[in-house]
Chain A
Amino acid sequence: MYVYDPVDQQLVEQRVAQFTDQTRRFLDGQLSDDDFRTLRLQNGLYIQRHAPMLRVAIPYGLLAARQLRTLAHIARTWDRGYGHFSTRQNIQFNWPKLEDVPTILAELAKVQMHSIQTSGNCIRNTTSDHFAGVAPDELVNPLVWCEIIRQWSTLHPEFAFLPRKFKIAVSGAEEDRAAVGVHDIGLQAVERDGVLGFRFWVGGGLGRTPMVGHLINPFVPWQHLLTYLQAALRVYNMHGRRDNKFKARIKILVKELTPDAYTQQVNEQWQLIKDGPDTLTQAYVDTIAQRFTWPDYDTSVAGEPDPTEMHAAAHPAFARWLQRNVRHHKVAGYASVSLSLKPTGVPPGDITADQMEAVADLSERYGYGEVRVSHEQNLVLADVRRSQLFALWQELRALNMATPNIGLLTNIISCPGGDFCALANAVSIPVAEAIQRRFEDLDYLFEVGELDLNISGCINACGHHHVGHIGILGVDKNGEEWYQVTLGGRQNGAAKPLPDLASTRGGGAAIGRIIGPSFAREQVPDVVERLIQTYLRLRDSDAERFIDVVDRLGIAPFKENVYSDPAVAKAAPAAREVAHA
């Protein structure tokens, strides 16, 4: 866990004072709606369908137990007793009052938290691998680099008013769990001749115009990370489009300039600052690393008697949970446990204040008082002794957080949708629930195997539907909700070994393809069912996952099977025009 030094603390407190003043001026009529809008957005405050929504930053998804308790306190005192984890490792409160927000921010500052740059056209929360620091396949712990980027990007004077929002992700492992290919900038740690550096991807992103990023530099040595970022941002700040918000993301600039021309401009800017005072030193990196409290692993744990297999043999439900929700840890005798926030009937990513407090307690009793938030909207206890897995599972079951569905179809990633969000064209939470109900049978769910299903309530793609193996997008036609289905998206390239850099384009991410006309809400579970049946019929073996079959055979057989369904065909004519809306 990163621990603030006095400068970090002072900066957050001064930001609270600044925002308190801005809010007061707005409420007193000294600050117009227009002037206040961007200022409040830069502090994570949206005006939503029912009330303001406050998005609190969880830098790179790392939370301390006491922070989680403060979030629970906020949820109870100023909200309605729950919070919602977003797909970018942050937490959102849907019901605060504007006049309470300064007080909430002051509470957050007491536990080294804030909502700085969680919205607005600025550099957002840097995201990372939720198994950072504990994954066996890690080259470098990305959290230190994330924190360096967090500090650099916080209240950056030159880049506070970019053409559009800007999202950076960092991966330090072989398998890219940070989805570097679909971020404005994705950084992937690599080693060359014993020196650490980063592959620098630019221009990925979802939203209205989904694109996979371009590799503009295969190796930026670590010393140059900040100067290279500064150059990349400066070219974007000066030349990104500001005339049309739908063309303002960096991906459009890179496409319109061509990646080569963009890269050349970045290099020109870089030459001016390369080796300058922003060059990182080992001493600085060490200083940041030393401000983290790192788990003090007990090496004798490896030799402990481990009753896990015995319990698994006696409890099939525990065995299932082990299979899906428990991962190997880099230290023998430990494991990383995912807490599912996707039980059927609960909006994906929602968590009650009681659950938050319970998880805070568990993190202290079963780990080092740390919790991770995954971009899949689940929580992770990263450092659990294997010998304690059974006891932890029993406690999690009582909290309804032990659904064994990590990586499976019902682990649906979803935005809050039209029930909450003013931008949404359609609801997403009820659709997620209807799908979960259809696939409640665990035997069947396990038989289907790994499958990412993502739902977004509108083209802004907060549910990352473009990178779902199955993606579902809510669209509006004449005030009616329809749902478009995509297949074959993925957030990284883990499907097969990637022989060279060219084929790791965007870290292997892919954008899903639309299968055809949209569907009515009540049809969506049937459509998913047809897609699954098609997959089960076509797969070579149960080792071939859904996404692998889509890769091998394309979307045609799936499409054919869905639209040949008489029930679907009946609704299709009405839906047809929607697909082109």
Chain B
Amino acid sequence: MLDIALANDNTARLIRHGHLQHNDWRVFAPADTVNAKPDSDAAPTPVDATAVVPADEPGWIVPLTIWIAHRDALRQRQHPVAVLLSPDSKLKDLVGEDGHVDATGLAFIAIDFPVYTDGRGYSLAQLLRTRHGWQGELRAIGDVMIDTIHYQARVGFDSFLVKPEHDPEKALAAFRTFTVHYQKTYPKPPELLAA
């Protein structure tokens, strides 16, 4: 996931509002845990992964744990961060007492698909949209494929970072793979996505 989010192959592979854009968002991971060299004999220095936050600059996606630990401060930033949910994230950690997600100072919510066959992100998205009142941007990142974004659009995602091996133009066309659907409470991909 991290590699993909950071990949810079000069291809516009972020689908947003029906267009392909270059992705300029990356996932923040505390340096010590990320940069420990796999071939190094030295054990990585144990650090509290939630102790640090990224600099106040554009384009940071922070894991839910960091958001929880610093959300009051993060909401005040000049450059709002996005929050990243993993498949096993608990939505109750994100929502307020009223059961809704407070959108103040939050750029968007990203849900990670570590492998496309892990379908938990679909239920998370659906619950954010239908139960927790999230009306802001909801982004699918990770193992996001030509073959998955149609389903993802129907459960409420509205931006998609297509993984490197997949042609983003074909992904954009995939919103129209099906023009008919059976499940009436899951909308068809909004027209604007396929614009």
Chain A residues packing against B (C-beta within 8 Å) = 7, 10-11, 14-15, 17-18, 22, 30, 32, 35, 38-39, 121, 151-152, 154-163, 234, 237-238, 242, 272-273, 276-278
- A242 with B116: in contact, given A155-B182, A278-B184 (CB under 8 Å)? no
The answer to whether B123 touches A39, judged by C-beta atoms less than 8 angstroms apart, is: no
Closest to B151 in A: A157
**How far is it, in angstroms, between the C-alpha of A457 and the C-alpha of B157 when the chains are bound?**
43
The complex places the Cα of A15 from the Cα of B182 at a distance, in Å, of 13
> Which of B32-40, B50-58, B59-67, B173-181 is found at the contact surface with chain A?
B173-181
A163 CA to B147 CA, complexed, in Å:
18
- State the CA gap A32–B120 with chains docked (Å): 23
Question: When the two chains form their complex, are residues A18 and B177 in contact, meaning their CB atoms are under 8 A apart?
Answer: yes
- What 6 additional pairs, Cβ within 8 angstroms, besides A18-B178, A152-B182? A35-B147, A155-B178, A159-B122, A237-B122, A272-B130, A277-B185
Q: Which of A30, A238, A273, A278 contacts B123 (CB 8 A)?
A: A238
Tell me the dominant secondary structure on chain B's binding face: loop
Within 8 Å of chain A (Cβ to Cβ): is B154? yes
Contact A35 B123 (CB under 8 A): no
- Taking a contact as CB atoms under 8 Å apart, the answer to whether A242 and B177 are in contact is no
Q: Are A157 and B185 in contact (CB under 8 A)?
A: no
Q: Which residues of B contact A277 (CB under 8 A)?
A: 184-185
Query: Could you tell me the distance between the alpha carbons of A178 and B82 in the complex, rounded to whole angstroms?
Result: 49
When distances are taken between beta carbons in the complex, the residues of chain B under 8 Å from A278 are: 184-185
Answer whether residue B72 sits at the interface, using C-beta atoms and an 8 A cutoff: no
Q: How far is the CA of A276 from the CA of B184 in the complex (A)?
A: 11
C-alpha gap A333/B152 in the complex (Å): 53
Contact A32 B165 (CB under 8 A): yes
0/1 per residue, B12-49, Cβ < 8 Å to A?
00000000000000000000000000000000000000
Q: How many A-B residue pairs have CB under 8 A?
A: 88
Across-interface contacts of A273 in B (CB, < 8 A): 130, 185
Which residues of A are found within 8 Å of B155, using beta-carbon distances? 157-158
**B→A interface (CB under 8 Å):** 87, 116-120, 122-124, 126, 130-131, 145, 147, 150-152, 154-155, 165, 167, 177-186
- On whether the beta carbons of A242 and B118 are closer than 8 Å, the reply is yes
Q: A158-B126, A278-B184 are in contact. Are A14 and B177 (CB under 8 A)?
A: yes
Closest to A235 in B: B123
The answer to whether B116 and A38 have CB atoms under 8 Å apart is yes
Given the interface pairs A35-B145, A272-B131, A277-B184, the reply to whether A158 lies near B122 with Cβ below 8 Å is yes
B180–A7 CB distance below 8 A:
yes
Which of B117, B122, B184 has the largest count of A CB atoms less than 10 A from its CB? Answer: B117
Known A-B contacts A242-B118, A272-B131; A152 and B145 likewise in contact (beta carbons under 8 Å)? no
Residues of A within 8 A of B180 (CB): 7, 10-11, 14
CB distance from B9 to the nearest CB of A (A): 16
Given contacts A18-B177, A38-B117, A277-B185, contact A161 B122 (CB under 8 A): yes
Q: Which residues of A contact B126 (CB under 8 A)?
A: 158, 234
Centre residue among B130, B178, B184 by max chain A CB count within 10 A: B178
Q: How far, in Å, is A120 (CB) from chain B's closest CB?
A: 9
CB-CB under 8 A from B145, the residues of chain A are 35
User: What residues on A are CB-neighbors of B186 within 8 Å?
Assistant: 156-158
Check if A158 sits within 8 Å of B117, measured CB to CB.
Answer: no
Write the nearest CB–CB distance from B81 to chain A, whole angstroms: 25
> Which of chain A's residues has its CB closest to B153's CB?
A157
Contacts of A151 in B (CB 8 A): 182
User: Across the interface, do B117 and A121 meet the contact criterion of CB distance under 8 Å?
Assistant: yes
Cβ-defined contact, B147 with A160, below 8 A:
no
Residues of B within 8 A of A30 (CB): 165, 167
Question: Which of B150, B154, B185: most chain A CB closer than 10 A?
Answer: B185
On whether A160 and B184 interact (CB within 8 A), knowing A32-B165, A39-B147, the answer reads no
Decide: A276 near B185, CB < 8 A? Known: A158-B123, A158-B155: yes
A157 touches B154 (CB 8 A): yes
- A-chain residues with CB within 8 Å of residue B119 when the two chains form the complex: 121, 158-163, 237
Tell me the bound Cα distance from A155 to B122 in angstroms.
Answer: 13
Residues in B with CB closer than 8 Å to A152 are 182-183
Q: Which residues of B contact A242 (CB under 8 A)?
A: 87, 118, 120
